[in-house]
Amino acid sequence: MPFGEALAPGNIWDFLRAPAAKGAWAAQGTIYIVQNVVLILASAALIALLLPRVRRHLDGLARTALPLTLAVSLIGAVPATAPKDAEKVIDLVCGQVHIVSGTVWIGGLAVLAALATTRGRLSESAGALWADLWRRFSLVALICVGAVLTSGLWMSWKHVGGIGQLWSTSYGLFLLIKIALVLGMVTAGGVNQFWLMPRIAQARRADATASLLHLTLRHFPKVVWAEVALGIAVLAVIPFLSGSARSEAGSPPAVTSGSIITVGAALVLTLAASLYITARTSDALARRGDLAVA
């Protein structure tokens, strides 16, 4: 039906009350009702942050809101009918890993950058606090990068049958744009890891308050805003990734085999090793700066 007609309350209610399909363990509408109830609870937990009295229980509120927000996405991905095989299960898992990791990465960067750029008057100890914030989130972002790239490799293989389909099909072209944008985000993250984070660590150990404030609340957010802009562009491209390059090019669907699983596992291990080396190299650069100062 047309989109405007689909928004009619009566049609929505009919969909939510529709009985389960044959062979389904639950009605699709029931799954969406549960998802929206959890969404309301998660929103209430986050809105409660605006109440001064509730902020005294910030840790407990965060521990409540975090699983609820994750559940909103995970519940919506629950299939009404059992997956036919292990490949379908991998598709579901990779899809959720891609969504959750991507939103944590982009959303976390956006929130922290916004907070950093709106802090007008701060005490001298604020630099140390923000140094900890950036360091901790850098680890989270590094894990998200690995998860996004790993799940993205699987989904790209499922939807693209060959390198040539990246520029010979509309799906491939939009996917190519998305890949370029994500690589731009990874490059900006590399600047943070290999240049800014070591400088922040050196300034903190040298007790250089002014330099620490400048790096954590002026310089670092500028690079992060570049990442956020690229991330928003990625989100703008996603709606155009409908269908698949394989179907557009008339190539057969992807077939999982032992060799594909082996190659995928090797790529995942290589990616994990590279991310580990990235973190260790960043720490080494920070220590080398300390030795140079000494």
Q: What is the pLDDT of residues 75-112, one digit of tens each?
A: 999 998 888 888 888 889 999 999 999 999 999 999 98
Question: According to the model, what pLDDT value does residue 122 have?
Answer: 62
Encoded amino acid at 81, one letter: T
Residues 6+ apart with CB under 8 A from 240: 170, 174
How many other CB atoms sit within 10 Å of the CB of residue 154?
Answer: 22
How many other CB atoms sit within 10 Å of the CB of residue 14?
Answer: 11
Predicted confidence (pLDDT) per residue in 138-187, tens digit: 889 999 999 999 999 999 988 998 888 888 899 999 999 999 999 999 99
Encoded amino acid at 170, one letter: S
Cα gap 159→151, rounded to integer Å: 13
Across the chain, mean pLDDT equals 86
Question: According to the model, what pLDDT value does residue 289 have?
Answer: 55
Residues 6+ apart with CB under 8 A from 185: 105, 227, 230, 231, 234
Longest CA–CA span in the chain (Å) reads 73
Crossing angle between the packed helical segments 258-293 and 197-205, to the nearest 10 degrees? 30
What value does the mean pLDDT take over residues 41-68? 88
Q: Where are the domains of the chain?
A: 1-82, 84-293
- Is residue 136 classed as helix, strand or coil in its secondary structure? helix
What value does the mean pLDDT take over residues 184-201? 87
When mean pLDDT is compared across 30-34, 68-72, 146-150, 242-246, the lowest value belongs to 242-246
Predicted confidence (pLDDT) per residue in 243-292, tens digit: 889 988 888 888 887 888 888 888 889 888 988 898 888 888 877 755 44
**φ, ψ for residue 161 (rounded to 5)?**
-90, -10
Cα gap 9→20, rounded to integer Å: 20
Q: Does pTM surpass 0.85?
A: no
Cα gap 290→217, rounded to integer Å: 22
Question: According to the model, what pLDDT value does residue 124 have?
Answer: 63
